[in-house]
Amino acid sequence: MPLDVVILGPPGAGKGTQGQRISAELGISHINTGDMYRAAVAEGTELGAKVKPFMDAGNLVPDDLTIEVVRDRLAQPDTAEGFVLDGFPRTMPQAEALDTILGEADRELSVVLDFQLPEELAEQRLLKRAVQQGRKDDTPDVIHHRMETMRIPDALIEYYRARGILVGIHADRTIDEVFAEVLSVLQTAAAR
Ligand code: AMP
């Protein structure tokens, strides 16, 4: 059985860092829609041109486009053993589409990790990152706007909670502490 994992949480909660570690430890593919979009913009592809205005404005890319991108990505052979999806789904239509895509391949989500971090703390982390990386465009206002637009809808959390596959992770700890808990959750999920 493939291990199909989703990580939810606000920007700054450490989804990317943990996604990479899970991928390295368990040998499943880390898929981050934000990274895919940034790569497309950097390479100047047709997709990059389509998504750039939304990204520049700090808004979500429309669902139909994002769903197609994820559908194509999940069809790649490197996802056969599983994947850890980070940054998707962010809306209910995306969550429903993900179930459809997986269902077509006779798969279903194994577990959804909900990274919990108070928004104030998440904003502080993003501001610190912006300063460290010299991202002058990332002002407190811009970061606050991104936090609001990227907030995971309650309905999405409930959708997975109702299915019994949601696991809350306290993200306000060291990377190693969070990873230890994540690994134990994933080992339990894999054994089911
Ligand atoms: P991130 O690095 O996850 O903050 O993503 C960077 C940008 O990519 C976001 O601000 C959105 O414009 C876009 N994006 C990433 N994931 C999604 C998604 N699931 N739905 C819509 N837009 C997305």
Q: Is the pLDDT of residue 124 over 90?
A: yes
Ligand 1 within 6 A of CB of 88: yes
d(CA 45, CA 34): 15
Say how many C-beta atoms besides its own lie within 10 A of residue 101's C-beta.
17
CB 145, CB 123: distance < 8 Å: no
Average pLDDT over residues 103-129: 95
Q: Is the peptide bond before 2 cis (omega within 30 degrees of 0)?
A: no
Q: Which secondary structure element, helix H or strand E, spans residue 104, and what is its range?
A: helix 92-104
Mean pLDDT of 162-182: 97
How many other C-beta atoms can be found within 10 angstroms of the C-beta atom of residue 153? 13
pLDDT score recorded for residue 138: 85
Gap from CA of 126 to ligand 1 centroid (Å): 15
